[in-house]
Amino acid sequence: MNVLETVYQFSDVVAEEIYEVSEEIDLAMGEYIINFDSQLTHVYILITGRLRQLVQHPNDQNKVLTLAIYESSFVAGWASHQANLSLETISAAEDSKLLKLSHQSWDKITKKHPEIGLLFNQRVTPADLWPLIIRQQGLCLPGSTKELKKWINNLCQESNVYWIFPGTPKSFELSSNKYWIVAENGELEYGTLMTQIELSDIQAKISKPLRLISFPESSLAGTSSFRPKITKESNIPESVDSSSILESDQDSPPNDNLPKETQYRFFESVPGYIPEAISCFRTVGDQLKLPIKVDILKRIFEEQSSKTEGKVSLQLCAAISESLGLKTQLLNLPVNLIGRLKTPSLVHLRDDELCVALASKTGKLLLARPKFGIESLTIEDLTPLSDEASCLPVLILQKTDRTPQKKFDFKWFLPLIKKNKRPLLEVLIASFFVQIFQLMNPLIVQQIVDKVIGQNGMSTLPVLAVLLFSFSLFENVLTAVRTNLFIDTTNRIDISLGEQVIDHLLRLPLTYFDKRPVGELSSRLGELEQIRSFLTGTALTVIMDAVFSVVYIIIMLVYSWVLTIVALLVAPILALLTFSLSPVIRSQLRSKANLNANTQNHLIEILTGIQTVKAQNFELKARWKWKERYSDYVAEGFRNAVTSTTANGLTQFFNQISSLSVLCVGAYLVLKGELTLGQLIAFRIIAGYVTTPLLRLSGLYQSFQQTSISLERLADIIDTPQESTETDQKNIPLAEIQGNITYEELSFRFGKQGPLQLTQVDLDISAGEFAAIVGQSGSGKSTLTKLLTRLYEPNAGRILVDSMDIAKVELYSLRSQIGIVPQDSLLFEGSVQDNISLSNPEATSDEVIAAAKVACAHEFIMSLPSGYASSVGERGGALSGGQRQRIAIARTVLQNPRLLIMDEATSALDYQTERLVSLNLMEYFRGKTVLFITHRLNSIVHADKIVMMHQGQVDEVGTHEELLELKGRYFALFNQQGNT
């Protein structure tokens, strides 16, 4: 059976006729099939996917909203065709498949099969009602989008369709407490309000059936008069947060001038779809201060190029933008509305050209086109570049609170360097004098050669020897002082940096850790040492080398400008060699870092799960897998070593050539009498001070490349916004929790494209209730409680605690009042008492023992060798699973939270112990709300409320006795567990 038969309940004959006269079309997400101001010639039957109805916001003319989402049994364009008036704006909410029929074909089929017309003619949808509702003068509609959608859907259920046929008036009256409105545009104007007086007169005059829609008068506020003309709706879809994606015309300045092109940074590109797309993303990243990893973008585009013939689609750009933390919306923007486009946005022009909209004004658009540069284009310029319908495919990009910010670079370290500027300045001063004393060495050597040896001046030798010894002594003493001072300063910087990074890491949302293995995070944190070493070590060396190289070159010029040129000829060669090899080295270093992260991640997995590895007897396989990853890491390290060795070898070779050249030319100058032997030796030593940094140039640049990669990897942590954003920190703190919990139409999924884990959940839990949440695995029990603590954010709906929306209160004021005992209870190395008092270190021994007794843990603790002083081992490895769970429960009991969540925290306990623990918790937390998740139904028969979850929805709610009487899922599950 096909969709027309199963979903639309059409007969096989009707389905076959529809397929014969229809055309199957694919609609991409965001693509329109119906615009409000377009001329309608077809209807569209939804086969798969979802469609979105868009309307102008009644309270803000500059905004649009999604009025309804249609998933099945929907014919787009039917309401407009029925009313003989363009009423709808319909786009695809996801990739969809539809059947396209002309009005003539549809009318022919509905006439031949009246049951189809009856099926749709008696239905009232938001597409029918909305155009009628917005004609109401003085209308006071619900303020929020959510309430408005709920209200219009309820109104559809309360509405009815009536048909008035021509001829003799029928004997029925129009109810006075309802609105009766003409729902088609023909002999009577669409939206005409009917009264009982008009009815009999109209029935005698109309020549064809007249369709009326009625709805209760109490549903609307305001007067009963209607606007004579319908207001055009925008054909622009809503943004993800239900706000307008277009700028208000009123927000534009009086002049229509675009910003100057020089205000924007342009990223040039070589010809090609992929390089141009990367250029566009770099432009977007620059505008939104978004971290863009070019190598990752290039890899993604190249992987997808085989599927798209090398072209880059907006759909692919949308997927990449979503992965970067942006909210996206695809749409076809009429060219005449370009002045209201929010920027930056990606725009797709003819010939698959991708560009970035940088700014927009009335009738003008500033585009960054990788092929041509930054251009200001008018509507007339853009029309030839758009499609046949004079629309531009556009990808709207919007930042959210969770969008990473490009803020982690070398500037991020400036506050710490400024904080330690005094000791660093002392290091620089010490380095300056070290260089001065170092410079004395060749000058004194010159005097010894020329004065003592050349002129047999033995009397000056002792003086010069003492000076040479003294300067060497001062140089080494200052070097030692500088080193100690430097190490102390760098250690303090290291501690401050580490503290800031770890603090930021621990405050990141749980979704961040879900996507990244522990080994990878550990590897990224290890990059901190490389960055610190470069900033406080290599960078300082570079500064000193740069400053004194100028001094040395001036001194060399004083000796001989010819020798100076000969000595410096090697500089451009070494620079060219370094910069030509840098891309190769950078790529190898990045690959090496990633392979190291993979190796460390696998090793941590093995060591963390060593018990499973041994129990399942796959030590050999684990070793092979580690060896494979480690071999790849070593191989990449070898390739990097070969490249570096080659670079160093070439550097040494050119340096030797330079030294020989200086020696030969210098000898020639000495023989000609233009230079003394002492001057040649001194020049050679000083030239070494200049060429040594050049010799280190390759290593320095490689260190810089390594540090930039370390910055890039660590930026993944620092640039990710904390779960408590600046907006959240400004929210009011949550008052002391009383315990009333309300879930309102809550929906949630892991990831952007995954299945819904919770669907339209509505649930009320009163203060002081012991509420048990039960259901099969995967039914959404744990997810329900994780959303309560804001470990994840819902996709739709809200959660109220004591009538306060938890999304609008300060995060940590909520979590500090909630105690959670997860299924996988983690204990930290230390004693039993240390673990119980973890959240309350000041607790007395009596309080710790009382908490342990509530958790039924006191007896087994006292049976341990040292009682409460016994060590639990690493991660609680010295205890059984049930013992770990009871200590975790005791820890939460000692915390004495205002609201307790037990997330299958007794799964490792036997039935008797679990039942006793649940009874103890009921008694101890009497008057406080407890959410108790379990699979064992016989342990929660005394709960105040039992919530039965099934496939992400609340299936049944009641007490144990009430649910048994229902004989539903709870009853069946209770009996399956062998209970009576």
Render the burial of 556-578: b for 16+ CB within 10 Å, e for the rest: beebbeebbebbbebbeebeebb
**45 Cα distance to chain centroid:** 35
Phi-psi region of 500 (alpha: psi -120 to 50; beta: other; left: phi over 0): alpha
Instruction: Indicate the helix (H) or strand (E) that contains 800.
Output: strand 796-801
More confident position, 727 or 787: 787
Query: At 791, is the secondary structure helix, strand, or coil?
Result: coil
The residues near 917 (Cβ < 8 Å, ≥ 6 apart) are: 855, 856, 886, 889, 906, 909
* DSSP code for 719: T
**pLDDT average, residue stretch 207-235:** 52
* Residues 371 and 481 placed together within one structural domain of the fold: no
DSSP 806: G
Q: What is the 3-state secondary structure (H, E, C) of 328-355?
A: EEEEEEEHHHHHHECCCEEEEEHHHEEE
Residue after which a domain boundary falls, among 398, 433, 458: 398
- Yes or no: say if 352 and 340 are a contact pair by the CB < 8 Å rule: no
Question: What is the C-alpha separation between 196 and 287, in angstroms, rounded?
Answer: 62
- pLDDT for 410 beyond 70: no
In a domain, 895, yes or no: no
Report in angstroms the alpha-carbon separations of 491 from 172, 526, 540, 546, 707. Answer: 91, 15, 15, 25, 18
Residue with tokens 């929790």: 737
pLDDT beyond 60 at 238: no
pLDDT for residue 121 is more than 80? no
**Residue 141's CATH number:** 2.60.120.10
Residues 591 and 688 placed together within one structural domain of the fold: yes
The answer to the question of residue 950 being in a domain is: no
> Highest mean pLDDT: which of 227-241, 470-484, 776-790, 817-831?
776-790
273 lies in the same domain as 168: no
- Of 725, 741, 719, 740, the closest CA to residue 793 belongs to 725
Q: What one-character DSSP code corresponds to residue 667?
A: H
In the predicted model, is pLDDT for residue 560 greater than 70?
Answer: yes
**For residue 163, is pLDDT > 60?**
yes
Closest to 53 (Cα-Cα) out of 89, 77, 93: 89
Residues 6+ apart with CB under 8 A from 723: 507, 508, 509, 510, 790, 811
Q: What is the DSSP string of 99-124?
A: EEEEHHHHHHHHHH-HHHHHHHHT--
Instruction: Answer for the pair 296, 306: CB distance below 8 angstroms, yes or no.
Output: no
* Phi, psi of 876, deg, nearest 5: 75, 25
CATH number at residue 667: 1.20.1560.10
Between the alpha carbon of residue 204 and those of residues 182, 207, 213, 667, 678, the distances in Å are 16, 8, 20, 124, 126
**Cα R_g (the chain), whole angstroms:** 38
For residue 381, the domain's CATH number is 3.90.70.10
Strand partners, 210: 164
| Average pLDDT, integer, range 620-635 | 86
359 and 420 assigned to the same domain: no
**Residue 773's pLDDT is what?**
92
Residues 52, 197, single domain; the answer is yes
Instruction: Give DSSP secondary structure letters for 941-965.
Output: TT-SEEEEEETTEEEEEE-HHHHHH
CA distance 418 to 411: 11
- Co-location of 346 and 474 in the same domain: no
From start to end of 87-177, where are the E strands? 90-92, 96-102, 160-164
Does one domain contain both 443 and 558?
yes
Q: How buried is residue 223: exposed, middle or buried, by Cβ count under 10 Å (0-12/13-18/19+)?
A: exposed
Whether the per-residue pLDDT at 300 is higher than 60: the answer is yes
The pLDDT assigned to 38 comes to: 62
- 432 in Cβ contact with 669 (< 8 Å): no
pLDDT at 226: 35
Q: In whole angstroms, give the CA distance from residue 533 to residue 523.
A: 16
Mean pLDDT, the chain, whole residue set: 78
Among 72-86, 210-224, 501-515, which is the least confidently predicted range? 210-224
Taking CA atoms, 101 is separated from 23, 82, 715, in Å, by 7, 14, 53
Angle, to 10 degrees, between the axis of helix 126-133 and the axis of helix 145-158? 110
Percent of the chain surpassing pLDDT 90: 2
Do 159 and 63 lie in one domain? The reply is: yes
Amino acid at 473: L
Higher pLDDT, 279 or 579: 279
What pLDDT score does 728 carry?
Answer: 73
155 shares a domain with 24 = yes
Any idea which of 201-210, 802-811, 940-949, 968-977 has the lowest mean pLDDT? 201-210
Query: Tens digit of pLDDT for each residue in 44-66?
Result: 888 888 888 877 666 555 566 77
CB burial of 910-930 (b: ≥16 within 10 Å; e: otherwise) equals eeebbbbbbebbbebbeebbb
If one compares 175 and 476, the residue with the highest pLDDT of the two is 476
Boundary-marking domain end, from 718, 746, 768? 718
Q: Any alpha helices (H) in 420-517, and if so which ranges?
A: 421-447, 461-506, 510-514
For residue 128, give its domain range.
Answer: 3-219
**pLDDT at residue 695 greater than cutoff 70:** no
Asked, as a colleague might, if the bond just before 344 is cis with ω within 30 of 0, I would say yes
Reported as a pLDDT band with limits 50, 70 and 90, residue 977 is confident
In angstroms, the CA 520 to CA 505 distance is 13
Q: Is residue 183 part of a domain?
A: yes
Of 556, 383, 414, 424, the residue nearest 497 (C-alpha): 414
Range of weakest confidence among 781-790, 830-839, 874-883: 874-883
> Do 157 and 197 fall within a single domain?
yes
Closest by CA to 836, choosing from 878, 882, 895, 917, is 895
The closest alpha carbon to 873, from 822, 832, 932, belongs to 832
Residue 249 predicted with pLDDT over 60? no
Report yes or no on 949 lying in a domain.
Answer: no
- Percent residues over pLDDT 70 in the chain: 82
In this structure, is residue 834 part of a structural domain? no
Q: What's the Cα-to-Cα distance from 265 to each of 69, 262, 282, 367, rounded to whole Å?
A: 40, 7, 10, 12
Comparing 66-75, 629-638, 673-682, 763-772, which segment has the lowest mean pLDDT?
66-75
User: Which of 200-214, 276-290, 660-674, 719-733 has the least mean pLDDT?
Assistant: 200-214
- Tokens 């993800």 belong to residue: 240
Shared domain check, 630 and 558: yes
Highest mean pLDDT among 296-310, 413-427, 884-898, 966-980: 884-898
Residues 6+ apart with CB under 8 A from 825: 876, 884, 885, 887, 888, 905
pLDDT at 255 over 50: no
Give the Cβ contact number of residue 782 at 10 Å: 19
Tell whether 382 is covered by a domain.
yes
**Residues 328, 358 within the same domain:** yes
Structure confidence at residue 491 (pLDDT)? 79
Cβ burial, residue 241 (10 Å; 0-12/13-18/19+): exposed
Structure tokens at 790: 């804001």
> Residue 745 domain-assigned?
no
Q: Is the pLDDT of residue 254 over 50?
A: no
Q: What does the pLDDT read at residue 228?
A: 32
Name the nearest CA neighbour of 801 among 766, 754, 836, 831.
766
The C-alpha atoms of residue 817 and residue 838 are separated, in whole angstroms, by: 16
d(CA 170, CA 202): 11
Average pLDDT of the segment spanning 503-527: 79
- Does any domain span residue 86? yes
Q: Which tens digits make up the pLDDT trace of 319-335?
A: 888 877 788 877 777 77
Across residues 767-776, what is the average pLDDT?
Answer: 90
| Domain boundary, last residue among 718, 746, 761 | 718
Least confident of 166-175, 216-225, 370-379, 528-537: 216-225
Phi, psi of 958 (to 5 degrees): 165, -175
More confident: 125 or 97: 97
How many domains does one find in the chain?
3
pLDDT of 248 over the 50 cut: no
Separation between Cα atoms, residue 266 and residue 972, nearest integer Å: 66
List the single range of 86-100, 213-227, 294-308, 674-688 with lowest mean pLDDT: 213-227
- Per-residue pLDDT, averaged over 417-421, amounts to 79
Q: What order do you get walking across the sheet with 391-398 strand by strand?
A: 327-334, 391-398, 345-349, 353-361, 364-369, 373-378
**Closest of 850, 848, 854 to residue 832, by C-alpha:** 848
What one-character DSSP code corresponds to residue 356? Answer: E
